[in-house]
Amino acid sequence: MTNKKEEYNMSAPRRALIVIDVQQEYFDGLLQIQYPDREQTVVAIASAMDEAAKAGIPVVVVQHQAPAGFPVFAPESSTFALHPQVLARVEAANHKFAKSYASIFAGTGLEEWLRERGIDTMTLIGYMTNNCVIGSAAAAEPLGFSVEVLWDATGAIG
């Protein structure tokens, strides 16, 4: 027999926090985040990562990678690097990968990783709200995942 707390936890959504493209490109590169303020959003991102880790919620860190020589997100550029607030927490992340498309699912194996862990709900944070975050949220729907977006932990270029 289980107690009520165990019954509640069994029926609760199984979440993962997905940290999308929090890279120096959005701070020092051509695509600087304008709204909300990037310094405030990165603090909210770091806080969300810390709280997820404390709560035992899996954290996934995603990094956008363009082909070598590309003007943004090129792997050899200094702006490809994760923001220091995320870099300081990446060792504690449960999964990390690079992607080449707006969606976190396209060619990444993320869907399988989530399903293997029984995750049915994703909380999305990171950049850009109007591209990779929305593209990932839209791609999650036909796969049957529920999606939450922390508005104060995302940002757009303008």
pLDDT tops 60 at residue 8: no
For the segment 99-117, the average pLDDT, to the nearest whole number, is 96
What DSSP letter does each residue of 125-136 carry, written as one string? EEE-IIIIIHHH
Domain 13-155 is of which CATH architecture?
Answer: 3-Layer(aba) Sandwich (3.40)
The pLDDT score that the predictor gives to residue 13 is 67
pLDDT tens digit sequence for 71-103: 999 999 999 999 999 999 999 999 999 999 999
Average pLDDT value over all residues in the chain: 91
Phi-psi region of 107 (alpha: psi -120 to 50; beta: other; left: phi over 0): left
pLDDT tops 70 at residue 56: yes
Domain segments of the chain: what residues? 13-155
pTM of the model: 0.90
